[in-house]
Amino acid sequence: MDNKEKDLTKVSSGITIMFALFWIYRLFIEKNLNFLCDFKSSFGTLLLYTMGPLIFIYITKDIKENNYKKKKIPFKIYLTCFFLQFTTLITLMLVSGIFIIITKNIPNKTIDLNFSMIFSLLIFAPIVEEIVFRHLLAKKLLKHGDAFYIFVSAFCFSLVHGFSMGIPTMIYTFILGLIWSYLLVKTGNIIIVIAFHSLSNLFGSIFTQILSGFSDQAFMAYFFLIIIFAIIGIILFIKNKKDFSFNEKIFGKNNLKQVFSNKGIIFYIIITIVFMIIKQLLV
């Protein structure tokens, strides 16, 4: 087993244990606590992103770390990544629609936009999720290649959303994960990536919920604006395609083989699927 395989096994195992403990709390412990409902949920999230990273750091402590450096990139790259987030949002809407047709199950996606939820979407989640899935993974895996890191970061990020938000959101967060891990590789600046994550939640969740509750006309106007921005994202991506290429392909045969034959990743996938099934059985 080479260092690349060992490092990926430890990293994916750390992520697996980190979230498996959280899922155990969410499925079996939370409902038996005598706390207020809102606090019970926040308590679980707080445990995940305080104790979780410590568990991850302990499991991966033997991996030699490499610190990435801040770099300047052309403004067109920021612009392309910004509009590509809308392309990703349209992809989510299309995939969700297909999923609803196939399963004939219309999920309730309404979010209670109280202060706690808005704070989580705009500040807490972007900071902690980017620190875990972009920053920590970059320190452990970026030395093995930009394309390898980008793929692993996006995949690990998307898989955990399968438990909380379902299969369509896994596809959505995988593409977003590609964009944000690419930004970290190019800029070396986690603050910028956190800002993009926050903007994505603002346009994709908060504005969508506010306008859908305001009026159908306002929501449709916003929907058409998203479509326009999504098309701009595709045009900019095609125009600047060379800036998004690496020596090694992100979806190259080597990357796919190294990732999906890895024991840690297989363990991660199995555990996630098991908890997704348990969650459905308990509903």
Q: Using CB atoms within 10 Å of the CB of residue 132, give its burial: 0 to 12 exposed, 13 to 18 middle, 19+ buried.
A: buried
Q: Determine the average pLDDT of the residues in 32-54.
A: 76
More confident residue, 39 or 114: 114
At 222 the pLDDT is 94
pLDDT tens for each residue of 102-144: 877 766 556 677 887 888 899 999 999 999 999 999 999 999 9
More confident residue, 26 or 150: 150
User: What percentage of the chain exceeds 70 in pLDDT?
Assistant: 95
CA 165/CA 86 separation, integer angstroms: 19
pLDDT for residue 56 is more than 80: yes
Lookup: tokens for 277: 């099934």
At 139 the pLDDT is 95
Out of 97-101, 167-171, 203-207, least confident range: 97-101
At 110 the pLDDT is 61
pLDDT band at 47 (very low <50, low <70, confident <90, very high): confident
Lookup: tokens for 103: 């399963």
At 21 the pLDDT is 92
CA distances from 261 to 138, 253, 264, 266, 267 (A): 21, 12, 9, 7, 10
More confident residue, 50 or 34: 50
At 107 the pLDDT is 62
More confident residue, 83 or 26: 83
Q: Determine the average pLDDT of the residues in 96-107.
A: 78
pLDDT band at 9 (very low <50, low <70, confident <90, very high): very high
Indicate left, alpha or beta for 64 from its phi (over 0: left) and psi (-120 to 50: alpha): beta
pLDDT band at 250 (very low <50, low <70, confident <90, very high): very high
Indicate left, alpha or beta for 104 from its phi (over 0: left) and psi (-120 to 50: alpha): left
The length of the chain is 283
At 120 the pLDDT is 87
At 109 the pLDDT is 57
At 167 the pLDDT is 87
At 190 the pLDDT is 97
At 220 the pLDDT is 93
User: What percentage of the chain exceeds 90 in pLDDT?
Assistant: 67
Place of tokens 């993009």: 196
Closest CA to 164 of 74, 48, 3: 48
pTM over 0.85: yes
CA 262/CA 269 separation, integer angstroms: 11
pLDDT tens for each residue of 147-182: 999 999 999 999 999 888 888 899 999 999 999 999
